[in-house]
Amino acid sequence: MKYKRILLKLSGEALMGDQHYGIDINRVTQYANDIKEIHSKGMEVAIVIGGGNIYRGLSAEKAGMDRVQADYMGMLATVINSMALQDALEKLSIKTRLLTAIKMEQICEPFIRRRAVRHLEKGRVVIFGAGTGNPYFTTDTAASLRAIEINADVVLKGTRVDGIYTADPLKDPTATRFDEITFQDVYNRGLSVMDMTAFTLCQENKLPIIVFDMNKPGNLSRLADGEPIGTLVRE
């Protein structure tokens, strides 16, 4: 097993499956099974999920809503997704804890770094909800921040594509995929991996990022075993 503790970042849109919005239970179940596989190998797993399948603050702002209000609504959407994944994991007999940056005592624990680390050490899968708890920050930034706080070995960014390309592979058939790329090369080429705040946090703290296709069953487990899946971003 290559990594001891990982932060898995999942996009909210990925939870839609083939639907246009909402949560595809089959997709959530697939993710839960993949997470169970690496958890059973002894890996400590923390997770951050976006909320774009339910609500996007930036889109609401463009439609005229106050940005701060819209971002808080987006944070609540991430908690809904986190609860769905928590339920799927617990149906597989995996002990979980949901910690959020906004207090919601009836359904989760408040985020306390030492408590989060202790849960991981006890073998619980920890899900971080509500982003950073602040408007103007994305869940990518929340993922980078939480990964640094819990001393994760790597951020695994699960997406619908199998890595980082020279261009958008859905639009440019000549685009080629990188197996590895440095943080500086990503900047120089103007590639989109995470939002700039999240990406810079990882670079400054020498935290590697792996971008991979989470929708292919087994990819997560193969990554845990050290196979060269996706694209590694490093110093």
Determine whether the annotation assigns residue 168 to a binding site: yes
Determine whether the annotation assigns residue 129 to a binding site: no
With a CB cutoff of 8 Å and minimum separation 6, the contacts of 26 are: 17
Q: Residue 150's Cα: distance from chain center in Å?
A: 14
Determine whether the annotation assigns residue 18 to a binding site: no
The structure tokens listed for 98 are 């949901």
Closest residue by Cα to residue 74 from 18, 140, 127:
140
SS3 15: helix
Q: Are 139 and 81 in contact (CB under 8 A)?
A: no
Neighbour count for residue 14 (Cβ, 10 Å): 21
Q: Are 106 and 78 in contact (CB under 8 A)?
A: no
Determine whether the annotation assigns residue 56 to a binding site: yes
Determine whether the annotation assigns residue 157 to a binding site: no
Determine whether the annotation assigns residue 132 to a binding site: yes
Going through the chain in order, the beta strands assigned E by DSSP cover 5-10, 44-49, 96-100, 109-110, 125-129, 154-159, 180-182, 209-213, 231-234
Determine whether the annotation assigns residue 12 to a binding site: yes
**Which residue is it, tokens 């990518």?**
140
Determine whether the annotation assigns residue 64 to a binding site: no
SS3 177: strand
Determine whether the annotation assigns residue 52 to a binding site: yes
Determine whether the annotation assigns residue 133 to a binding site: yes
Determine whether the annotation assigns residue 135 to a binding site: yes
Determine whether the annotation assigns residue 21 to a binding site: no
Determine whether the annotation assigns residue 82 to a binding site: no
Question: Sign of dihedral through CA atoms 115, 94, 223, 213?
Answer: negative
Known binding positions for UMP: 51, 71, 132-139
Known binding positions: 9-12, 51-52, 56, 71, 132-139, 159, 165, 168
Known binding positions for ATP: 9-12, 52, 56, 159, 165, 168
